[in-house]
């Protein structure tokens, strides 16, 4: 396979996933409560083998999976992605005992995972996190502080938590811990956000963790976080591409069938040219996402730059395409329950989470000047 084309089997798999998302997963998503973990939906992702496939595949397959699900059911895509984000640090850097305890529960959809990095004072600047891991006699720690804007909180069954074990050491003093939700001193509250998936805040009041809870190495947790984000950033782009394609498809159908000014909307050059621009940008973003994923799978040295480029271009593109589709549809697209009203709410957050657009530009510039 080249970087810029898919094998027939991959194309067929994507078509199957889009159908699955629309026919099997969307009805479950529609029964869910906005802002809450939809456990029947997560269980269905496990029963269909999609959660296991996510962990058994490379970055490109992850992108194809996320793009295809996003086209038919954004809630299913997000539920799957959050399972991956919260669990991947354990898969990649966790102990055998940690993997044996939690991975079977995650891939079957019985346990919900969360990635707890952001804090009230450390969002885009993740190295500034302040959740304190105070060492205790005997080798354990007590976690004290807050996490905020954590997807799946406060309903997750376990959290991959990043805390400061060495004060004043910046990124080099951070450790990753696997923290089950039932640890004493751990509480959480839901946040009412624009996007419909669950997001919350966590409070740590002397939460006990031991060396057995460390994911990776002590004081090397920031690398665990960045390795996870380098894998998932292109797939955030894939999520965005899936939404952009859904919006483009809706715009094509609407402008071809909608009559105005004596003919179809598509007969107006201003409209057809806008749709053409939407298509060009969507395809360009898709190709950059695939290229970044292929670079990751191939072990290329410039993965951080490519991942940042893919996320930046794809999320900004999706915002443009969804907004343009809304404009072409007119007021009907703003009615609650319309596909584009849903996409309009969903498309905004990816430009912020897992590193805002401005952070991606900083990463790209740093990599360019270092080369």
Q: Catalytic amino acids?
A: 354
3-state class (DSSP) for residue 26:
helix
Quote the CA–CA distance of 270 and 266 in Å, as a whole number: 9
Q: What are the helix (H) ranges across the chain?
A: 8-20, 26-30, 39-47, 50-56, 59-72, 74-93, 96-107, 221-257, 269-297, 303-329, 339-346, 357-370
Task: With H, G, I as helix, E, B as strand and everything else as coil, classify residue 179.
Answer: strand
Collapse the DSSP code of 351 into the 3-class scheme (helix H, G, I; strand E, B; otherwise coil) and give the result: helix
Give every CB contact of residue 70 below 8 A, 6+ residues apart in sequence. 77, 238, 239, 240, 241, 242, 243, 246
Angstrom CA distances, 283 to 270, 277, 287, 308, 321, stand at 20, 10, 6, 18, 11
How many degrees, rounded to 5, is the angle at CA 133 between CA 132 and CA 137? 140
| Spatial contact of 275 and 264, defined as CB atoms under 8 Å apart | no
What angle do helix axes 221-257 and 339-346 make, rounded to 10 degrees? 150
Asked if 278 and 249 touch (Cβ cutoff 8 Å), the reply is no
Alpha-helical runs (H) found in 57-95:
59-72, 74-93
């Amino acid at each position: 396979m080249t970087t810029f084309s898919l094998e027939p089997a991959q194309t067929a798999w994507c078509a199957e996933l889009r159908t699955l998302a629309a026919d099997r997963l969307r009805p479950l998503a529609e029964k869910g409560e906005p802002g809450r973990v939809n456990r029947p939906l997560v269980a269905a992702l496990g029963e269909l083998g999609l959660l296991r496939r996510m962990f058994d595949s490379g970055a490109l397959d992850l992108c194809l999976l996320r793009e295809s699900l996003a086209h038919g059911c954004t809630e299913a895509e997000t539920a799957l992605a959050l399972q991956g984000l919260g669990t991947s640090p354990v898969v990649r850097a966790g102990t055998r005992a940690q993997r044996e305890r939690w991975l079977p529960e995650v891939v079957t959809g019985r346990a919900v995972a969360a990635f707890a990095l952001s804090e009230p004072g450390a969002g885009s600047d993740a190295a500034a996190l302040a959740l304190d891991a105070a060492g205790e006699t005997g080798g354990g720690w007590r976690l004290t502080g807050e996490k905020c804007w954590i997807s799946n909180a406060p309903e997750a069954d376990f959290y991959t938590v990043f805390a400061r074990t060495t004060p004043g050491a910046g990124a080099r003093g951070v450790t990753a811990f696997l923290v089950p939700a039932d640890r004493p001193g751990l509480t959480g509250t839901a946040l009412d956000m624009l996007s419909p998936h669950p997001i919350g805040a966590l409070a740590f009041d002397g939460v006990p963790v031991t060396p057995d809870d460390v994911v990776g190495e002590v004081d090397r947790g920031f690398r665990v976080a960045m390795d996870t984000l380098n894998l998932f950033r292109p797939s955030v782009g894939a999520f965005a591409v899936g939404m952009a394609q859904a919006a483009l498809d809706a715009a094509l159908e609407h402008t071809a069938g909608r009559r105005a000014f004596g003919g179809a909307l598509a007969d107006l050059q201003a409209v057809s040219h806008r749709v053409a621009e939407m298509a060009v940008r969507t395809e360009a973003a898709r190709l950059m996402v695939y290229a970044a994923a292929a670079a990751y799978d191939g072990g290329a040295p410039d993965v951080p730059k490519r991942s940042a480029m893919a996320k930046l271009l794809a999320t900004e593109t999706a915002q443009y395409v969804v907004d343009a589709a809304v404009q072409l549809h007119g007021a009907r697209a703003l009615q609650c329950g319309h596909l584009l009203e849903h996409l309009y709410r969903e498309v905004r957050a990816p430009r912020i989470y897992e590193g805002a657009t401005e952070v991606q530009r900083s990463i790209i510039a740093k990599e360019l000047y270092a080369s």
